[in-house]
């Protein structure tokens, strides 16, 4: 489907618009299980966090899944300049307290054996180079080898550290910075153990699509690995529209489109043909819920004005529930049907000029 727009600018019903899940649910890509990579995410209450650098890069470049916590879209590594930050001693002690309290919580099981094998290979190359007393080029890791953190656990002079380390300069506590304070300051350096690292955050729809639709993501919640059924129940909590949103998300993902959140443009989703890093989105998806009135002139004119300003088209989606009761969800999601309606505006002046 190259375009959702028909000749009369309105597509009311698509007979082939049944939720395409039955065939895809039996597939797990790649088909060879030995080549399949299982990513690991952690539920944080509103989405799923992916914390591994390799996993973040692969998920975003292989489908534009998720968004960086400190970036506009694509996750980027945090670059620290050569100058360390300066903090008070009480701030440093507080960070050490946080590190001791929360470090054990953040220790999760191994993400995937693929990345573990790569790390073992990298260590083996470096160990062999030390035994041979020769320099071996590290083709696995692009980062330089750094020193261990325990060398910098104690305070020391500022010149004892490398600029590549995350170093903070600690100065004594003082409520007033008078002349005596600067004369007897004696700053010291230490490793900053509390680091604000970039993470990839997946929406509930993206996470469940990776868990259920592709089978390449495992989700942890409170140190417990969740099953597909448990993920479904967890994502339903506090979100009354999760079912309809996920059906629409899976529907367009299965057609090869890149689907991203559309709250910035007053919709539920944005549809890209190739991705946000290549071109702009073509459609603003608005899901029509049963108890919400979308037929008012105020709502329609608002969507039309937004589409005209951003050079996009409004795509109103209605998810038709099946008549069968007591469905076994999410297994029987293919019983739902999707109806598409493109909302466009025809200017009478332009039409009359074309006829003349």
Report the alpha-carbon angle 60-254-56, nearest 5: 15
- For residues 229 and 333, the answer to whether their CB atoms sit within 8 Å is no
Has 312 been annotated as catalytic? yes
- Give dist(CA 245, CA 226) in Å, integer: 21
- Tell me which of 61, 70, 195, 280 is the catalytic residue: 280
Q: Which residue has the tokens 């071109």?
A: 279
Q: Which residue has the tokens 């559309």?
A: 262
- Alpha carbon 354 to chain centroid distance? 46
- For residues 24 and 254, the answer to whether their CB atoms sit within 8 Å is yes
- For residues 177 and 24, the answer to whether their CB atoms sit within 8 Å is no
- Tell me which of 152, 303, 312, 336 is the catalytic residue: 312
- Alpha carbon 3 to chain centroid distance? 27
- Which residues share a beta bridge with 191? 167
- Tell me which of 272, 283, 303, 336 is the catalytic residue: 272
Give Cα separations from 98 to 26, 45, 51, 95, 280 (angstroms).
45, 21, 19, 5, 42
Catalytic residue set = 272, 280, 312
């Amino acid at each position: 489907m190259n375009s959702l727009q028909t000749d009369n600018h309105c597509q009311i019903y698509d007979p082939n618009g049944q939720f395409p899940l039955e065939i895809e649910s039996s597939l797990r890509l790649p088909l060879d299980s030995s080549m399949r990579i299982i990513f690991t995410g952690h539920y944080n209450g509103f989405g799923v966090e992916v914390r591994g650098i390799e996993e973040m890069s692969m998920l975003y470049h292989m489908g534009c899944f998720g968004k960086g916590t400190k970036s506009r879209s694509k996750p980027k590594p945090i670059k620290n300049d050569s100058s360390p930050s300066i903090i008070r001693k009480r701030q440093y002690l507080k960070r050490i307290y946080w590190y001791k309290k929360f470090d054990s919580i953040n220790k999760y099981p191994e993400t995937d054996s693929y990345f573990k094998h790569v790390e073992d290979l990298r260590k083996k190359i470096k160990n062999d180079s030390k035994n041979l007393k020769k320099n071996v080029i590290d083709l696995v890791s692009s980062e330089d080898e750094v020193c261990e953190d325990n060398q910098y656990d104690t305070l020391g002079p500022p010149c004892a550290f490398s600029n590549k380390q995350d170093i903070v300069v600690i100065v004594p506590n003082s409520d007033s910075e008078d002349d005596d304070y600067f004369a007897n300051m004696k700053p010291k350096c230490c490793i900053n153990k509390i680091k604000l690292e970039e993470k990839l955050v997946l929406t509930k729809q993206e996470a469940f699509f990776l868990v259920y639709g592709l089978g390449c993501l495992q989700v942890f919640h409170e140190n417990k690995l969740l099953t597909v059924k448990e993920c479904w129940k967890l994502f339903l909590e506090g979100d009354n529209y999760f079912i309809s949103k996920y059906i629409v998300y899976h529907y367009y993902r299965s057609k090869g489109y890149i689907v991203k959140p559309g709250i910035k443009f007053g919709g539920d989703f944005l549809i890209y043909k190739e991705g946000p890093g290549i071109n702009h989105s073509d459609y603003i998806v608005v899901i029509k819920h049963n108890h919400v009135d979308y037929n008012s002139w105020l709502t329609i004119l608002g969507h039309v004005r937004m589409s005209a300003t951003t050079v996009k088209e409004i795509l109103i989606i209605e998810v038709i529930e099946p008549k069968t009761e007591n469905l076994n969800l999410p297994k029987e999601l293919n019983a739902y049907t999707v109806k598409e309606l493109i909302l466009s505006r025809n200017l009478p002046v332009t039409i009359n000029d074309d006829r003349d």
